[in-house]
């Protein structure tokens, strides 16, 4: 990965440098050439339009040795014309044919080509035309005198500008060389700043893949990689929590299965041992004991039936396969019915049993049978977990669009640490005592599920040794509101 990002970065920087240098070089070289050409023509116009030299040349054309005289004048003005015999020369040509007469370079002179400007001068006009694609630039001026017609011809082979451009080209090549060196270093540096966080991300991702969530990626930068790092941390955190939830659920499931097995084994064991004793004894057992044993067997099988039924209810609630029968019904009447149904049991235990209901309670929407199941469990718990002769109050009323029912007792209470757990399946504060009274620890967990489905809530306040108050609250409009 390091290598590929590095190569890409270096390649990009190299291409950028090359493109930039090519553009700069082209503009520079063209600028230098144009400047040089403009300079040449400006210089020529200034020189030849000046009164002194132009007048001298015209006078010289009247002399018998006109060509030599004119050449002398040009030589005298070499400085002003930039004549250097190397790249720029002057010539005197025949005004009718353009043929060489004399000039600063007698070797090149006879081979001069007849250029556009020379033709213009032969026609009698001043030839100042230029074409930047030519490898020369020239000026041809016609001069007529008594000794005939001549052409003053200045030609520059552009070598100076070519040399200059060659120099510029060399400089640019050198600059590209240095630029490439920079590209490699800069690429390394950039790749490092980009690759380091990516590498730590990769390392963290590998750890997450292996189930280790301890490492979070440190990156505070606000660029894309910083955002990616933070997103990654969020994702890892989310995953970790999900896995913890899954592990917790799995743990709960195992405990549940263990609990179910244990709860079912207890009655089966006692049924079996009582039945065995009955079998072994045969006719020798006295009828009273036999009756007592049979009652135990019936009670234990009832207990098994209750456990199995409760489990079935719970699993259907979990699976959502229980169809709730939502109807409008009188909550007040349900409270009264449940109270009356438990009255006998409460009297048997000599409890001070009372019911108080606020006036004008509204009808509510809910599953009546299920709501009553909740109330029954609340009340039967109070009866069960309050020593004989206790005080139990069932109260109900309306508040904030909800109906509520509280069952308050002065029984054994629930220790602080257990209150949070009583809604868990099979959870009983005192297992032995609870089982003795027929409890399986499923009642409140079923009640909790039912109340949830009604969008209601349950609250327990309890103090060990003092008593318990448990309240159910249900929205009047049912679960949809």
Which residues lie near ligand ATP (CB under 6 A)?
377, 381-382, 385, 409, 411-414, 422, 427-430, 434, 439-445, 468
Residues 316-355 that bind Mg ion (CB under 5 A): none
In the bound complex, what is the minimum distance in angstroms from residue 381's beta carbon to Mg ion? 4
Taking CB under 5 A as the criterion, the residue among 229, 259, 377, 440 binding Mg ion is: 377
In the bound complex, what is the minimum distance in angstroms from residue 311's beta carbon to Mg ion? 15
In the bound complex, what is the minimum distance in angstroms from residue 290's beta carbon to ligand ATP? 29
Nearer to ligand ATP, 150 or 385 (CB): 385
Residue nearest to ligand ATP (CB): 443
User: Which of these segments, 149-157, 211-219, 294-302, 436-444, binds Mg ion (CB under 5 A)?
Assistant: 436-444
Asked if 381 touches Mg ion (CB under 5 A), the answer is: yes
User: Which of these segments, 104-112, 162-170, 371-379, 426-434, binds Mg ion (CB under 5 A)?
Assistant: 371-379
Nearer to Mg ion, 377 or 462 (CB): 377
Nearer to Mg ion, 77 or 377 (CB): 377
Nearer to Mg ion, 274 or 423 (CB): 423
**Which of ligand ATP, Mg ion, none interacts with 195 (beta carbon under 5 to 8 A by kind)?**
none
In the bound complex, what is the minimum distance in angstroms from residue 296's beta carbon to ligand ATP? 18
Give how many residues touch Mg ion by CB under 5 A: 3
In the bound complex, what is the minimum distance in angstroms from residue 262's beta carbon to ligand ATP? 15
Instruction: Label each residue of the chain as H, E or C.
Output: CHHHHHHHHHHHHHHHHHHHHHHHHHHHHHHHHHHHHHHHHHHHHHHHHCHHHHHHHHHHHHCCCHHHHHHHHHHHCHHHHCCCCCCEEEEEEECCCCCEEEECCCCCHHHCCCCHHHHHHHCCCCECCCCCCCCCEEEEEEEEECCEEEEEEEEECCHHHHHHHHHHHHHHHHHHHHHHHHHHHHHHHHHHHHHHHHHHHHHHHHHHHCCCCCCCCCCCCCCHHHHHHHHHHHHHHHHHHHHHHHHHHHHHHHHHHHHHHHHHHHHHHHHHHHHHHHHHHHHHCCHHHHHHHHHHHHHHHHHHHHHHHHHHHHHHHHHCCCCCCCEEEEHHHHHHHHHHHHHHHHHHCCCEEEEEECCCCCEEEECHHHHHHHHHHHHHHHHHCCCCCCEEEEEEEEECCEEEEEEEECCCCCCHHHHCCCCCCCCCCCHHHHHHCCCCCCHHHHHHHHHHHCCCEEEEEEECCCEEEEEEEEECCCCCC
Asked if 443 touches Mg ion (CB under 5 A), the answer is: yes
**Which of ligand ATP, Mg ion, none interacts with 412 (beta carbon under 5 to 8 A by kind)?**
ligand ATP
**Which of Mg ion, ligand ATP, none interacts with 385 (beta carbon under 5 to 8 A by kind)?**
ligand ATP
In the bound complex, what is the minimum distance in angstroms from residue 267's beta carbon to Mg ion? 17
In the bound complex, what is the minimum distance in angstroms from residue 378's beta carbon to Mg ion? 8
**Which of Mg ion, ligand ATP, none interacts with 382 (beta carbon under 5 to 8 A by kind)?**
ligand ATP
User: Dihedrals φ, ψ of 462, to 5°?
Assistant: -155, 150
Query: Cβ–Cβ contacts within 10 Å for residue 383, how many?
Result: 21
In the bound complex, what is the minimum distance in angstroms from residue 392's beta carbon to ligand ATP? 9
Nearer to ligand ATP, 121 or 414 (CB): 414
Nearer to ligand ATP, 46 or 302 (CB): 302
The residues that touch Mg ion, with contacts defined as CB under 5 A, are: 377, 381, 443
């Amino acid at each position: 990965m390091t290598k590929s990002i590095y190569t890409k970065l270096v390649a990009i920087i190299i291409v950028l440098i090359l493109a930039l240098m090519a553009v700069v070089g082209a503009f520079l070289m063209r600028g230098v050439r144009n400047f040089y050409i403009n300079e040449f023509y400006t210089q020529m116009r200034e020189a030849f339009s000046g009164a002194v030299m132009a007048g001298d040349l015209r006078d010289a054309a009247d002399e018998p040795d006109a060509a030599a005289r004119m050449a002398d004048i040009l030589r005298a003005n070499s400085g002003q014309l930039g004549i250097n015999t190397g790249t720029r020369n002057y010539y005197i040509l025949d005004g009718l044919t353009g043929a060489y007469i004399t000039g600063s370079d007698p070797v090149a002179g006879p081979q001069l080509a007849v250029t556009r400007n020379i033709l213009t001068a032969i026609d009698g006009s001043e030839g100042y035309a230029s074409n930047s694609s030519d490898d020369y630039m020239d000026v041809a001026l016609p001069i007529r005198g008594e000794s005939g017609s001549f052409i003053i011809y200045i030609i520059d082979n552009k070598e100076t500008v070519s040399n200059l451009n060659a120099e510029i080209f060399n400089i640019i090549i050198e600059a590209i060389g240095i630029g490439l060196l920079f590209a490699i270093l800069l690429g390394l540096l950039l790749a490092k700043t980009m690759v380091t966080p990516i590498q730590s991300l990769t390392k963290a991702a590998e750890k997450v893949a292996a189930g280790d969530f301890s490492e979070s990626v440190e990156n505070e930068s606000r660029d894309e990689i910083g955002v990616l790092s933070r997103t990654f941390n969020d994702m890892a955190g989310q995953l970790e929590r999900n896995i913890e939830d899954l592990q917790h659920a799995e743990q709960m499931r195992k405990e549940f299965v263990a609990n179910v097995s244990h709860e079912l084994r207890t009655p089966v064991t006692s049924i079996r041992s009582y039945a065995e004793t009955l079998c072994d004894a045969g006719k020798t057992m006295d009828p009273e004991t036999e009756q007592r044993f049979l009652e135990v067997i019936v009670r234990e099988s009832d207990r098994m039936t209750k456990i199995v039924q409760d489990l079935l209810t719970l699993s259907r609630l979990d699976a959502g396969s229980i169809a709730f029968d939502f109807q409008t019904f009188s909550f007040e009447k349900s409270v009264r019915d449940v109270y009356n149904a438990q009255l006998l049991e409460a009297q048997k235990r000599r409890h001070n049993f009372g019911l108080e209901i606020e006036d004008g309670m509204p009808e509510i929407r809910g599953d009546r049978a299920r709501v009553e199941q909740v109330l029954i469990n609340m009340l039967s718990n109070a009866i069960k977990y309050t020593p004989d002769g206790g005080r139990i109050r069932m109260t109900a009323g309306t508040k904030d669009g909800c109906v509520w029912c509280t069952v308050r007792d002065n029984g054994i209470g629930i220790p602080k640490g257990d209150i949070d757990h009583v809604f868990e399946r099979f959870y009983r504060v005192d297992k032995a005592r609870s089982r003795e009274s027929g409890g399986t620890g499923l009642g409140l967990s079923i009640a909790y599920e039912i109340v949830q489905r009604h969008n209601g809530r349950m609250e327990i306040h309890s103090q060990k040794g003092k008593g318990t108050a448990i309240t159910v609250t249900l929205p009047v409009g049912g679960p949809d509101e």
